[in-house]
Structure 1
Amino acid sequence: MPPTPSRAEHAGVAGTRAAAGTLAVSSLAKSVPGGRLLFAGLDLTVAAGEVVAIVGESGVGKSTLLNILAGLDDSDAGSVAIEGTVLGGLDEAQRTKLRRESIGFVFQAFHILPYLTLRQNVALPLALVSPDAAKISARADAMLASVGLGDRGTGYARDLSGGEMQRVAIARALVHRPALILADEPTGNLDPATAATVLALFADAARKGGSAAVIVTHSRATAAIADRILTLTADGLRDQNGG
């Protein structure tokens, strides 16, 4: 397995950022149209290299919370900061730039582009921020190798199993060494055995890469790979241990 480059080494591709990737959320509140409160008083801090799982029933607001953390939706109150940058202080162009450079996404539906090779799929986040084709290709190949697909870079998604496609999605989410990784039901389309393998890869890659990772899920098995498990309620996040 190729060595994981440091953030300093990566800066030549995606730009310089602070060494510690941290998510800080304070007093967050959100209601849905019609006035129903989803949550209020929500506080969360996720350190670099930490994996946090957020669980809760359907309709409690997990996906809405993830969208707020990504700067895709606005909260009614409170603040979200990524590496000290408060999202509420950014215009849409600045939020888009932050998402490209500092956030990685892993979705249940994979979102692998079938007409691109696996290398090209993984390279997409880097291609948005750097013209250095050689560096981009090398990073994409290294990330594919880190998820066990090092010999498949020139292949296409049509030849992959669901578990392999999610491995590609993880490699793509991590290739630009993001400060924050957001995962929405990342193994919902996988059988339990494959899901366990993919989750282990995801957690290991996030920790080694120094990314703060947040997973929202219905699955307790998925949540079990996290360093902390939090339940989303109308009163914010409740620690599984009662905190």
Structure 2
Amino acid sequence: MPSPAGAPLVRLSGLSKSVPGGRRLFEGLELRLEPGEFVAVMGESGVGKSTLLNLIGGLDVADAGEVEIEGVALSRLTDDARTRLRRDRIGFVFQAFHILPHLTLAQNIALPLVLQRRPAAEALARAREMLAAVGLDGRAEDYPQQLSGGELQRIAIARALAHRPAVILADEPTGNLDPETAEKVLALFEGEVRRAGAGAILVTHSEAAAAAADRVLRLTSRGLEARDDG
């Protein structure tokens, strides 16, 4: 489902969200993410950066405002339709990884393709390609418990990119990686975005990660603001 002509990959309009107890995280938030664009979001701890990604990915619901993915308003979709959109069009790198322990590394990475009912051979070939891309070539038959935290992070990234999503949402994707591996992973994100005309929103505390993005935005209670580095 490509974007309608002129539609951004992601549009946030008047988005507001509070936490239990009534504290407002942010209000009136606006954002457009265009095809081929890589955006970094920074901000203080607790300001709602992970919550913002969950709203965009349809895992949480805003108090007010709208999230559109490729011109489709999430509020107008049923739960099943939101699940299908997330499965087919969004790649999510969770801070907690969410790697399935009973599956091999290749099976974990291939999972988005399996859920799309792609041929098994295609899914496995893509999984092996992504393992090589994140520096874990030859580990296809290993299990998650054999990996370090940084290696699990790389598997999560490989899985998020395996089905070539239109929208990539990444929550601190380089947080557990050494500088050299982080640089390679950021190049992988950028390559996928440019090659496929996708869009990426990366939440990070890392200045190095933010430097790889086209735009750096700071999330505050007032919304998303372009960061002034001058």
Which TM-score band applies after superposition, normalised by the shorter structure? 0.7 to 0.9
1:11-30 superposed matches below 5 A = 17-18=1-2, 22-30=9-17
CA distance in 1, matches of 2:170, 2:80: 23
Q: Deviations over 1:88-126 (max 9, x none)?
A: 101111111111111111123333333322211110011
Q: 1:132 to 1:57 in 2, by over 3 A?
A: same
The root-mean-square deviation of aligned C-alpha atoms, in Å, is 2.2
Unaligned runs of 5+ in 1: 1-16
> 3-state DSSP class of the match of 2:11?
strand
Is residue 155 of structure 2 the alignment partner of residue 164 of structure 1?
no
Distance in 2 between residues matched to 1:29 and 1:53, nearest whole Å: 20
Structure 2 gap segments, 5+ residues each: none
What is the aligned residue count? 226
Bigger mean CA offset, 105-114 vs 37-46: 105-114
> Which of 92, 97, 114 is the aligned partner of 2:84?
97
Which residue identity is paired with 1:181? I
Q: CA deviation at 1:73?
A: 1.1
Contact 1:22-1:46 within 8 A present in 2 as well = yes
Which of 178, 183, 203 in structure 2 is aligned with 1:191? Answer: 178
For 1:222-237, what aligned pairs fall within 5 Å after superposition?
Answer: 222-237=209-224
Q: Which moved more, 1:156-165 or 1:118-127?
A: 156-165
Identical aligned residues as a percent: 60
1:148/1:219 Cα in 2 relative to 1: closer, same or farther (>3 Å)?
A: closer
Contact residue 27 and residue 78 of structure 1 kept, 8 A: yes
| Residues 43-62 of structure 1, C-alpha deviations (whole Å, 9 max, x = no match) | 11111221111111011111
Match of 1:116 in 2: 103
Indicate yes or no: 2:43 matched with 1:59: no
5 Å matches for 1:193-208? Answer: 193-208=180-195
What is the aligned partner in structure 1 of residue 35 from structure 2? 48
Worse overlay, 199-208 or 172-181: 199-208
The two structures have a TM-score, normalised by structure 1, of: 0.84
Find the residue that maps to 1:80 and give its secondary structure.
Answer: strand
| 1:179 lines up with 2:162 in the alignment | no
Which shows bigger deviation, 188-197 or 95-104? Answer: 188-197
TM-score by length of 2: 0.88
Indicate the residue corresponding to 1:14 in structure 2: none
| Shift in Å, 1:224 | 1.7
Tell me if structure 1 keeps the 8 A contact 2:3–2:9.
no
Cα pair distance change 1:139/1:195, threshold 3 Å: closer
Q: Do 1:82 and 1:179's aligned partners in 2 also have CA atoms closer than 8 Å?
A: no
Tell me the distance in 1 between the aligned counterparts of 2:180 and 2:137. Answer: 22
| Distance of 1:98 and 1:214 partners within structure 2 | 17
